[in-house]
Amino acid sequence: MSEWVKKEIEIARANKRKILPVLLDGKAVLPKPLDELKYLPFHSDPEYVLGWLRENIYGQIKNKESDSWFWLVVGAAFIWLLTRE
């Protein structure tokens, strides 16, 4: 895990923000700072995960209930999952 991702996790936790990992690979294991979190299993049911994200995340944005730090952390976690080896 990169130092940038670690820092984002620390900032999110310090500000009591939500972190939502999205697993793209069924063999992936969440790293230690995230291993106790619930995650979205994109690898096993992409349609469900995309539907859930659309209803919950897009719904919050649409209703202007979003929080910039929350989205930053969600985005960073998603990018980390996409780019890890």
Q: How far apart are CA 15 and CA 28, in angstroms?
A: 27
pLDDT at position 61: 67
What one-letter code names the amino acid at 30?
L
Q: How far apart are CA 70 and CA 17, in angstroms?
A: 6
pLDDT at position 29: 82
Q: How far apart are CA 3 and CA 56, in angstroms?
A: 29
Q: Which residues of the chain have pLDDT under 50?
A: none
* CB of 8 closer than 8 Å to CB of 76: yes
